[in-house]
Amino acid sequence: MLEQFQEHIRENLKISFDKKIIVAVSGGIDSMVLLHLCKSTFTHIAIAHCNFNLRGDESDLDELFVRNYARENNIDFYCKPFNTNEFAENHKISIQEAARILRYDWFYELLRDLNFDYIALGHNKNDTIETFLFHLIRGSGLKGLSGIPEVNNQIIRPLLFAERTAIKDFAISENISFREDSSNETTKYSRNKIRHNVIPVLREINTQAENHIFQTIEYFKEIRIIVEEKLHEISKNIIEKEASIIKINIQKIISIPYKSVVLYEILSTYHFNPATIYDILVSLEGESGKSFFSKTHQLIKDRAYLLITPIENTSVKEVIINEDLRYIKNPVKLNMQTISNEAFTIPHSKNIACLDLEKLNFPLKLRNWREGDKFIPLGMSAFKKLSDFFIDEKLSIFDKQKVQIITDANDQIVWIIKQRIDDRFKITSETKHIYLIEFQP
């Protein structure tokens, strides 16, 4: 297996043996075989072990086993304990997803801090098949059906060529010690159900089922390359970028005969799941204003575009501004000062509000705008709803979500930050003292 391993790294992963490799080692058979092979192949390796604290003493014994191996073989050892249950509960995600996020975040942190080239994981050929089936039953595009990538940025999986039985045989022949993970035998987790319940049934139907599935995965990988090349051409015509906003032209999407495929491949990049993407597809010719969410992005169906932006926490706690307060750092940066009106020239900047101090009722308040808020825009004499003002100013839906305002003690709007002051608080020739607020980007 060592020769196969080294040839696979040279020919398929295109990685030279002088690269610095961190090996992720749980103590299980796959990771211990991977460690053995890496130790015999690469000139410089280290070990990273995650203790997820999910199996009580068993987790601690896994850590001790790997730690002792590292010491006996004079290999640098790095270990990170995690409170996985607490992380999953706080973020309202599954234990498996929590463990995945925690370990990958730490892996990239290690790579950066230690200045290593890659981190090697012990996934094997059977893991690829199980992942394929898992994505298939959840609903997935070509990316999910293309199996586990062998190289993904600085993550490498050098054992994907090897079946689980071959790894076990090699461990026995080389007398490689490892620890059994009791959680691998339970059917509590979806992937284990596939391993223990689904794949045995597929073998009964066709003894070559796993080989045929693996061949199909290889086909999907090549098909995905073709599709991504075509998708890149299409995307240049239908996608526009404006600051942090991705704009997808609705009419151009509708005109494509295979729009469902194109939309899926684009939106899955922003973590929208198949069910949500279907709802977005249905909404294309409907009314504007509908919102859809993935775990990382928001999409709004506007009149002419699908607008995608990263999810941000745009809500702010109300901040009280007393007359003697001179600056605010959070949630926005504001500087405040009082100056005389003598020989004062009003600056032409939407980032600065010049207000008549004597007309202000303190304390002022910084807050988000709300539906129903109204003010008298500078230069006008009648009230206007903020929602109507935003339409006149052609603010996008996302821009409107971020708008913050300053009100007086009576909750009258004084300034829509970066937009317009209220006419009632403007400075005039009668103004003696100016209260100046400056927004700092």
The Cα–Cα gap between 436 and 229 comes to: 54
pLDDT at residue 182 greater than cutoff 80: no
216-250: buried (b, 16+ CB within 10 Å) or exposed (e) per residue?
ebeebeeebeebeeebeebeeebbeeeeebbbbeb
How far are the Cα atoms of 72, 238, 415 from residue 419, in angstroms, in the given order?
Answer: 67, 31, 8
- For β-strands 297-301 and 44-51, DSSP reports them as unpaired
| Overall fold of domain 319-440 | Phenylalanyl-tRNA Synthetase; Chain B, domain 3 (3.50.40)
Q: Which is nearest to 126 in space by CA: 184, 48, 187?
A: 184
> For the chain, where do the domains classified as CATH 3.50.40.10 start and end?
319-440
Quote the Cα angle for 285-287-290, to 5°.
Answer: 105
pLDDT at residue 315 greater than cutoff 70: no
pLDDT at residue 90 greater than cutoff 60: yes
Q: Return the pLDDT at 34.
A: 97
Q: 377-400: per-residue pLDDT in tens?
A: 999 999 999 989 998 988 877 788
pTM of the entire structure?
Answer: 0.65
Q: Return the pLDDT at 169.
A: 96
Contact by Cβ (8 Å): 336, 380: no
> For the chain, where do the domains classified as CATH 3.40.50.620 start and end?
2-124+151-206
pLDDT at residue 125 greater than cutoff 90: yes
Domain 2-124+151-206 in CATH 3.40.50.620: yes
Q: Return the pLDDT at 388.
A: 92
The confidence band for 421, taking pLDDT boundaries of 50, 70 and 90, is very high
The confidence band for 344, taking pLDDT boundaries of 50, 70 and 90, is confident
Give me the chain's average pLDDT, please: 91
